[in-house]
Chain A
Amino acid sequence: MLNHHTYKLLLLIPALLLVSCNKLLEISEPKNSLTTEKVFNNETQASGAMVGVLTQMINVSAYTAFSSGLTSQLGRFSADELDKVVNPSDNFYRNAVTAQNAESNGLWNSAYQFIYGCNGVIEGIAESKSTLLGERVRKELTAEAKFVRAFCYFYLINTFGDVPLVLTTNLAKNTNIKRTPTAEVYVQIISDLKDAASVLPADYSTGKGERIRPNKWTAKALLSRVYLYSGDHANAILEATEVIGQTSLYQLETADLNKVFLKNSSETIWQLQQTTQMDLSGNAVPEAIYVLPNPLHTGVSGDLSANLLRAFDAGDLRRAAWIDSTDFVSGGKTGHARFMYKYKTGAHNKVLNGEASEYYMVLRLAEMYLVRGEARVLSGAISAGIEDVNVLRRRAGVDPLSTALGREQAIAAIARERQAELFGEWGHRWFDLKRTGKAEEVLSAIPAKQPWRGNYQLLYPIPKSELERNNLLVQNPNY
């Protein structure tokens, strides 16, 4: 039989354990990671959270993120900039993309990954009560995050059309939402860009003088493009004029076109800074590893097209400086290909951990002249518009256009000038063909794109897995 002492003992043991149970499960926080609260406790770490987005935009393999070269690559294929590509059955090149094509998933997934990062910065700062995080840094980082978020959405809607508008990291709020119409996404983009432009510094102090962090003018430059795309010509002219007017910061590289894409060139409004320590690319821009000929690769990814070469007048310095050609041997076949030579450091001359001479150009002054010129022509100021185009033509060493061109001629001249100036960059040609309604006319005439499957191809398909994970999303038509 049990005596009283034993009963007490029996009861005591679990009681003791229960009392101290909460202590028993205390674990130290992981030493190699920080909580959101700690990240936004001081300025260094909060800046780290913003820079975490920027570094992932560029420091990945070239065709994995929309911002590391994938937009440019798919844009070149989908538009009319390449002929005789290495893989002629490429569905983007043939404008025969199907919902199974995983390449476009990379555009989607990476853009939303960065949007998550930006939302995290905006929320982390708003929730932080730390006095170590000063008012100026709070505002600037929030503005920078808004800029990058707007930048990502700009590429999403121009690639996919309507997209889910995600403005928080809160999973429960985001899981089952519908696609937001493009016009509404533009409203958000414009609002974010205006906020950014009103707060960001007017110099490049955030990047210690390097043009690798967006500033006031970066926001305004993207804003002018957004206004042009959404048909607000007056505001497009206004914003572009402001950027062009910052002559102490921005000048076209007139002496030598080979200097345009150098790091922090006077034409740079924003560049992404690649690391020099990534094994694959060394000090080269990731995309250049694939765009420039590489003895290991099958020459280059394709031959620049006749359509593109026609955009250059005889003697155009851009053609001499930005296009080169190579002989290649691939799978027993030999060929000759012209390739984009805007970046000069590629697989053949990269140096791991060497000093970079080029950064990845995102926004540059030349585009501002083209944006303003187009907006001016479309709002009736044809001669002023042509004058903007002529700034670039003079630099390229070709005859200026007559300011007495008719409206249609002026529009065509601007399209051609954009083709020549911005070729190969950031899907400009692909977006231009789409937004100006010329895509079907131009692309359906290209032999490789026969038969023309229809204009539904102008929007890429939403990744299949997204439709499965959120049934409220509807696929783009005909996919």
Chain B
Amino acid sequence: MSPNAPPIYDSNGQLNFQEWNDAGMPYAYPFGSLKALSYSKTSLATAKLMLSYELLNGLQLSTSLGYNTSHNVGGGEMPISSQNPLTNPTGMMVVGTNDNQNWTIEPQLNYESVIGKGNLSVLLAASLQGTVTSGQSIQGLGYEDDNLLGSITLAPFTRLFDTYGQYKYAAVSGRVGYNWEKKYFINLSGRRDGSSRFGPGKRYGNFGALGAAWIASEEAWVKNALPSFMGFLKFRGSYGLTGSDGVGDYQYMSQWSNQPNYSPLYPYGGVTPLTSMHAVNPDYRWQVNKKLEFATEMGFFNDKITLMVAYYQNRCGNQLTSYPTPFYTGFGSVTANWPATIQNSGWEFSAASTVIAKSDFKWDLSLNGGTNKNILIDYPDLELSPYATEYVIGKSVNDRYYLHYIGIDPMTGQYAFEDRNGDGTVGVNSAAIPGKGEDDRYVVINSDPKFTGSLSNSFRYKSIALSFSLYYKNQMGLSAFYSGPPAGGFFNIPTEIYENRWQYPGQNAKYAALTTVNGSGSNSLVGSSDLYYTDASFLRLQNVAFSYTLSDKLLKNKELSFTVNAQNLWVLTKYKGIDPDTQNFGSMPTSKTITAGLNLTF
């Protein structure tokens, strides 16, 4: 269909900037990079040493030492010929190196002994790690002849960049475990972690955990009380604190540089400029994650069927994050501990069974699943925080409020929404706290999965094996048809929308009238309404695998096997659209993959 875009190359085989410029599309020509060059070369060396020595009976000292180093050389060239001649271009080249060194020392002292009727194990360990990264690169700019590209000394002017970072981590930890007659178990651990990513006085954090377990089925009186088919019963519980230092290096200190965000500050009046790289917060400290878990494990019919049910509760009240700040403070964010206390809790279960175990035929089945509930426990001064209009204490941080869709107005062909607060207009006020009647949003939708589960089966008959797994997810997701671009723009739309659009007054249509006005009328509110979301639950046949191995006798020490593997063969869902996980009309859904293989060993 005309008009056609001009050819990529002109009649001389050169990039065809000329014709694209003449066609009034100077910026649309995408082929300049065909003449550009870029390269990268990395060398790596890794060394690891493990030493272990039994000092005394039961007392073992071991140390692991590791060292990694990598060196990268990279660069690129942008010749004049790759750029639009209308811009008076000059050539550019860049060359640079990056080095990374990392070492670890991890000594350990292990002690095992029998005390009374129990086993004691004691572990003392330390860990030291260090990382240094550094890089330099040099840009040559202003070349007026492409033939000179490649020589940095011939560059009319140059620009230098460097990066540097150092990280150290040190920890001591101890763990004491004791079990009495393989019946009562207790585990106690403690650790002190230190990281150079925190400011002075904040570098160390103390963490620890306590765990206990009871194998009730080892207890004679319990054993007698249990039904005979239940051979194993265990209860366990644990509570622990772990730390996290996942932030950038040096964020606690003031840093002035003349290349913030890797873009240069140009000299001014001959003076080398300096500027602050980030907002400074010297007070952030180790993030503490608190984990509580209770579980029970059961075995039936000589462990032919095993069952595990667990309840977990994870809490974090000082997550390390890049916290948004008003730009008028100088920066849009600062590294800080987030004051929100957020809890994730839920149930997990798994069951496994060897349904049949004969010499010729075996069937294994396993089932597992889980739920998760997110809740904002506390947020001091929430109303003064950037999340004031988003979060509600006691609710999930992923809860969002939406307008309620009430249908298409048969007279105008526009989507209509409930005027919840009865003020005569339907609208969204992003500055208002939703759900309080200040605007019309009140329907709560949370796109977190409510439940996920999977079922796996594997069968083996002689040398034939077949396995498959099913995956289920219960969730709300974007509606494939209502979340796409509204009809009328320069986009494809599904025929579903086109054929069921509103066309004449009085029509009860599924989709609004077509329009060429961007963001017009009710289309602009669809994204703030529950019409945008739909049930996107699904059951997917995730994997099917089949294999057949020819018997040894036939082939004498040789082996021949045949396999077929298939992924994503089948989906059961009420979701209208291409895929309930992709939830988008325009992008590719999860692919269906089938592979077959023949394996011969001789």
Which residues does A use to contact B, with CB under 8 Å? 1-3, 6, 9-10, 13-14, 17-18, 21, 24-39, 44-45, 47-49, 51-56, 59, 105, 108-109, 112-113, 115-117, 119-120, 163-164, 166, 169, 171, 174-176, 206-208, 210, 212-213, 273, 275, 277-279, 282, 295-296, 329-332, 347-348, 350-353, 463-473, 475
Contacts and interface: CB of A to CB of B under 8 A. Distances in A.
B430 A13 contact: no
B271 A466 contact: no
Interface string B148-181: 0000000011010011111111101010000000
A35 B266 contact: no
Given A26-B168, A171-B279, A353-B156, A212 B255 contact: no
22 contacts: A6-B59, A13-B126, A14-B124, A27-B196, A28-B166, A32-B257, A36-B256, A39-B256, A48-B273, A51-B274, A52-B274, A55-B266, A55-B267, A56-B273, A175-B329, A210-B269, A295-B21, A296-B27, A353-B156, A465-B327, A468-B389, A470-B384
A454 B172 CA distance: 68
Contacts of B169: 25
The 4 closest A-B pairs by CB, nearest first: A116-B330, A275-B266, A52-B275, A52-B273
A11 B44 CA distance: 39
B256 A21 contact: no
Chain B binding surface, main DSSP class: mixed
B259 A32 contact: yes
A36 B282 CA distance: 13
Nearest to A466: B326
Contacts of B142: 352-353
Nearest to A166: B328
Question: Which of the listed residues A44, A56, A330 has the most CB atoms from chain B within 10 Å of its own CB?
Answer: A56
B62 to A, nearest CB: 12
B204 A33 contact: no
A171 B256 contact: no
Interface in B273-288: 273-277, 279-281
Given A116-B331, A352-B141, A352-B142, A208 B270 contact: yes
A449 to B, nearest CB: 20
Contacts of B27: 296
A331 B24 contact: yes
Interface of B: 21, 24, 26-27, 55-56, 59, 84, 86-88, 90, 92, 107, 109, 111, 113, 122, 124, 126, 128, 134, 141-142, 156-157, 159, 162-170, 172, 174, 192, 194-196, 203-204, 249-250, 253-259, 265-277, 279-281, 324-332, 334, 383-386, 388-389, 430-431
Contacts of B388: 468, 471
A273 B269 contact: yes
B256 A350 contact: no
B24 A174 contact: no
A463 B329 CA distance: 14
A9 B110 CA distance: 12
Contacts of B92: 279
Contact of B255 (A35, A163, A472): A35
Given A14-B172, A27-B166, A279-B141, A115 B269 contact: no
A13 B109 contact: yes
A113 B330 contact: yes
Question: Which of the listed residues A26, A164, A277, A278 has the most CB atoms from chain B within 10 Å of its own CB?
Answer: A277
Contacts of A36: 254, 256
A332 B22 CA distance: 10
Contacts of B194: 21, 24-25
Contacts of B90: 352
B88 A350 contact: yes
Nearest to B126: A17
A471 B255 contact: no
B273 A470 contact: no
Nearest to A28: B166
Given A47-B271, A166-B330, A171-B279, 8 more contacts: A3-B56, A14-B124, A32-B164, A33-B256, A35-B254, A166-B329, A171-B280, A175-B325
A10 B113 CA distance: 15
B51 to A, nearest CB: 15
A227 B215 CA distance: 85
A38 B255 CA distance: 10
B86 A296 contact: yes
Given A10-B124, A35-B255, A171-B281, A213 B326 contact: no
Contacts of A174: 326, 328-329
Given A6-B59, A31-B162, A353-B157, A469 B267 contact: no
Nearest to B88: A350
Nearest to A169: B330
A49 B274 contact: yes
A164 B328 contact: yes
Nearest to B163: A32
A18 B206 CA distance: 12
B123 to A, nearest CB: 11
A117 B275 contact: yes
B590 to A, nearest CB: 35
A28 B168 CA distance: 10
A21 B170 contact: yes
Contacts of B162: 31-32
Nearest to A330: B24
Contact of B265 (A30, A59, A469): A59
Contacts of A213: 269
Nearest to B384: A176
B129 to A, nearest CB: 10
B386 A469 contact: yes
Given A25-B195, A30-B250, A33-B255, A468 B272 contact: no
A468 B331 CA distance: 15
Contact of A10 (B109, B275, B330): B109
Contacts of B281: 171
B25 to A, nearest CB: 10
Nearest to A275: B266
A469 B325 contact: yes
B201 to A, nearest CB: 11
A159 to B, nearest CB: 13
B151 to A, nearest CB: 17
Contacts of B258: 48, 52
A9 B56 CA distance: 12
Contact of A52 (B56, B265, B329): B265
Contacts of A21: 170, 172, 192, 194, 204
A117 B330 CA distance: 8
Nearest to A164: B328
Contact of B134 (A31, A210, A465, A471): A31
A237 B25 CA distance: 53
A117 B276 contact: yes
A24 B88 CA distance: 55
B167 to A, nearest CB: 7
